[in-house]
Amino acid sequence: MSTDLRSRAWVEINRSALHRNMARVAGLVGGGERVLPVVKSNAYGLGLGSALRVLERSDPWGYGVAEVREAEAIRTHGVTRPVLILNPLPPGDVHAAVAGGFELSVSSIGEVDRIVETLDGSGRSVRLHAEVDTGMGRAGFDWREVGRWGPDLIARSSEGVEWTGLFTHFHSASDPDADAMTVQSDRFATAARALSGMRAGNWVEHLCNSSALFRSSGLAGDLVRPGIFLYGGGIGSDLPAPEAVVSLRARIVLLREVPPGTTLGYGATYRATRPERWATVAIGYGDGLPRSLGNRGQAVVAGRRVGIVGRISMGLTVVDITDLPEADVRIGDEATFLGRSGTESISVDEVAGLAGTISYEILTGLSARLPRLWSSADEPDAPDTGIQ
Ligand X SMILES: *Cc1c(COP(=O)(O)O)cnc(C)c1O
251 sits near ligand X (criterion: CB under 6 A): no
Cβ atoms within 10 Å of 41's Cβ, excluding its own: 18
227 sits near ligand X (criterion: CB under 6 A): yes
Looking only at the bridges linking them, the beta strands covering 63-65 and 83-85 are parallel
215 sits near ligand X (criterion: CB under 6 A): no
Residue among 341, 338, 281 nearest 308 (CA): 281
Smallest gap from Cβ 169 to ligand X, in A, equals 4
Q: Is the dihedral of CA 15, 21, 25, 28 positive or negative?
A: positive
112 φ/ψ angles, rounded to the nearest 5 degrees: -60, -45
Active site residue 266: yes
210 sits near ligand X (criterion: CB under 6 A): yes
Residue among 381, 376, 367, 375 nearest 250 (CA): 367
Smallest gap from Cβ 168 to ligand X, in A, equals 9
Contact at 8 Å (CB) between 362 and 372?
Answer: no
Smallest gap from Cβ 129 to ligand X, in A, equals 10
Name the one range near ligand X by CB under 6 A: 120-128, 225-233, 245-253, 345-353: 225-233
Smallest gap from Cβ 8 to ligand X, in A, equals 29
Name the one range near ligand X by CB under 6 A: 27-35, 75-83, 224-232, 269-277: 224-232
Name the one range near ligand X by CB under 6 A: 16-24, 223-231, 249-257, 377-385: 223-231
Residue among 348, 56, 60, 73 nearest 225 (CA): 60
Name the one range near ligand X by CB under 6 A: 24-32, 114-122, 193-201, 226-234: 226-234
Smallest gap from Cβ 383 to ligand X, in A, equals 26
Q: What whole-number distance in Å separates Cα of residue 89 and Cα of residue 344?
A: 44
146's enclosing H/E stretch is helix 146-155
Active site residue 44: no
Number of residues that bind ligand X (CB under 6 A): 11
Catalytic residue, from 63, 266, 270, 360: name it.
266
**Contacting residue, 86, 98, 281, 318, with ligand X by CB under 6 A:** 86
Site pattern 40..79 for ligand X (x: CB under 6 A): x---------------------------------------
228 sits near ligand X (criterion: CB under 6 A): yes
38 sits near ligand X (criterion: CB under 6 A): yes
Alpha-carbon separation of residue 370 from 85, 235, 283, 310, 387 (angstroms): 27, 26, 9, 23, 9
Closer residue to ligand X in complex, CB, 164/209: 209
Q: What is the DSSP letter of 241?
A: P
Contact at 8 Å (CB) between 152 and 128?
Answer: no
Q: What whole-number distance in Å separates Cα of residue 20 and Cα of residue 75?
A: 24
**Contacting residue, 209, 313, 322, 341, with ligand X by CB under 6 A:** 209
Smallest gap from Cβ 131 to ligand X, in A, equals 8
Q: What is the DSSP letter of 34?
A: G
232 sits near ligand X (criterion: CB under 6 A): no
**Contacting residue, 129, 225, 304, 372, with ligand X by CB under 6 A:** 225
- Interface positions, 128-187, toward ligand X (CB under 6 A): 169
Residue among 96, 132, 126 nearest 113 (CA): 126
Residue among 119, 143, 128 nearest 82 (CA): 128
Smallest gap from Cβ 53 to ligand X, in A, equals 20
**Over the range 246-278, which residues count as b (16 or more CB within 10 Å of their CB) and which as e?**
bbbbbbbeeeeebeeebebbeeeebebeeebbb
- End-to-end CA distance of the chain, in Å? 18
Closer residue to ligand X in complex, CB, 150/233: 233
Catalytic residue, from 40, 44, 63, 270: name it.
40
Closer residue to ligand X in complex, CB, 225/249: 225
Active site residues: 40, 266
Residues at the site binding ligand X, with contacts judged by CB under 6 A: 38, 40, 86, 169, 209-210, 225-229
